[in-house]
Amino acid sequence: MTAAVHPRLQPHFDAVIARNPGEKEFHQAVYEVILSLTPIAGKRPEYLQWSILKRICEPERQIIFRVPWLTDAGEVEINRGFRVQFNTALGPYKGGLRFHPSVNLSIIKFLGFEQVFKNSLTGMPIGGGKGGSDFDPKGKSEQEIMRFCQSFMTELYRHIGEYRDVPAGDIGVGGRELGYLFGQYKRITNQYESGVLTGKGLSWGGSQVRTEATGYGTVFFAQEMLGTKGQSFDGKRVVVSGSGNVAIYAIEKVHQLGGTVIACSDSNGYVVDEQGIDLDLLKDIKEVRRARLSEYAERRGSDVRHVADGSLWDVPCQIALPCATQNELRGSAAKALLDNGVELVAEGANMPCTPKAIDLFQGAGILYAPGKASNAGGVATSALEMQQNASRDSWSFEDTEARLQQIMTAIHTRCVETAEEFGEPGNYVMGANLAGYMKVANAMVALGVI
């Protein structure tokens, strides 16, 4: 942690650390929000009354459960499942499920905490939650994935529901896993309750644009940021980290808007393709064959480099979109990007930049957007999926994409105006955190101490 917390807020932060020992990702997420509350600490005590801050940092409910499943060889495996139901001041808990070996309570709590403010920023009636498991889908057979998802849902089903808690995908959980999860929920409950999960397939209650929404939304948000400087994506060199759901559709939208993505990555390295990433090839490798990115260089030809060791952020670019995972862009990477003339960083992933990296970007005066604003298009489109499910309706791709773009523009305006109102023009971190926090706090006061 770099900058100092306001003295009135420091005891709250100390209490979070003491009550949640060792949960460093959760501490980091809370730190970022508390730092942004500095302008209200002195001037707007109504936003700290009735211990709102203390209550907002304490999940309403934390569920941890055993997930037993059988491998193809007949061995019994045990994973740990999580669902942290953080806050329902604005609506049912809403947030994705992550399947990755690094998952633990701290990671799920940081994601759930961020989700509360992100969901508030979207302007939609959704609270915040997050879940997942330390299960590693890599190298598992189709049948093993299905058995795991069925076992996971056999416990989770009793905690979720259209008006209670609505999970979606995240790292390691895409259309395939959501299908198995929804199938098991439907079987156990004997109801076709479409609104219980989002990110569903188009033929079984899903929404157009949900697959593309987080990546597209991040780029729409970045486009708004560029607009404040009279610029656009046209002709820009862009680097995107990751090659999963968010990264692929961020790349697609950048190319549609006239920019060129020249590098992307996975957890085994990165590729540099000066002609622009070939999306058909990337989708075939990552979405269809679920293979490694090194295959991209082998199939694309000699002009493309695959770098197994090294930092993607050393590749010179004007725009950087971190779309892989938390804390993937540290101080040294931020310095390399700035030395190479980066002009804008917008987060597609959750908390990909460390506090040190954010300090460096803000100190250099470049455009920087935190994920809870710039990647909110995914959950916003999930809320559109819930609307379609509730009204037994489905909208066209064009209509849904237009709504997504309007939502991203509105979130951008909310961030800009809030930052200006509190004397921090251009500070998207403060704008996002303050706007997100104030809306939740107002609702929590109205609902009483619960």
Name the residues that contact ligand NDP, by CB under 6 A.
169-172, 214, 242-247, 266-268, 323-325, 328, 348-350, 375, 378
User: Of the two residues 100 and 414, which places its CB atom closer to ligand NDP in the complex?
Assistant: 100
Q: Smallest distance from the beta carbon of 112 to ligand NDP, in angstroms?
A: 11
From CA 436, how far away is CA 31, in angstroms rounded?
15
Token pair of 445 as six digits: 């006061």
Q: Smallest distance from the beta carbon of 246 to ligand NDP, in angstroms?
A: 4
Q: Smallest distance from the beta carbon of 447 to ligand NDP, in angstroms?
A: 27
Place of tokens 């791709």: 397
DSSP calls for 92-113 = SEEEEEEE-TT--HHHHHHHHH
Q: Smallest distance from the beta carbon of 258 to ligand NDP, in angstroms?
A: 23
H/E segment holding residue 432: helix 428-447
Count Cβ atoms below 10 Å from residue 398 Cβ, excluding itself.
10
User: Of the two residues 12 and 412, which places its CB atom closer to ligand NDP in the complex?
Assistant: 412
Place of tokens 């808690």: 165
Amino acid at 407: I
User: Of the two residues 88 and 119, which places its CB atom closer to ligand NDP in the complex?
Assistant: 119
User: Of the two residues 272 and 444, which places its CB atom closer to ligand NDP in the complex?
Assistant: 272
Q: Smallest distance from the beta carbon of 427 to ligand NDP, in angstroms?
A: 22
From CA 138, how far away is CA 178, in angstroms rounded?
16
The active-site residue, picked from 94, 109, 118, 130, is 130
CA 200 from chain centre, in angstroms, equals 18
130 is catalytic: yes
Alpha helices per DSSP H over 57-174: 105-122, 142-156
Token pair of 360 as six digits: 């460096």
Please give the residue whose beta carbon sits closest to ligand NDP in the complex.
244
> Helix or strand or coil: residue 421?
helix
Buried b (16+ CB within 10 A) or exposed e, 197-235: bbbbeeeebbbbbbbbbbbbbbbbbbbbbbeeeebebee
From CA 283, how far away is CA 268, in angstroms rounded?
17
User: Of the two residues 10 and 268, which places its CB atom closer to ligand NDP in the complex?
Assistant: 268
304 Cβ neighbours under 8 A, 6+ residues apart: 271, 272, 273, 296, 297
Q: Smallest distance from the beta carbon of 75 to ligand NDP, in angstroms?
A: 24
From CA 218, how far away is CA 246, in angstroms rounded?
9
User: Of the two residues 119 and 418, which places its CB atom closer to ligand NDP in the complex?
Assistant: 119
* Residues with a known catalytic role: 130
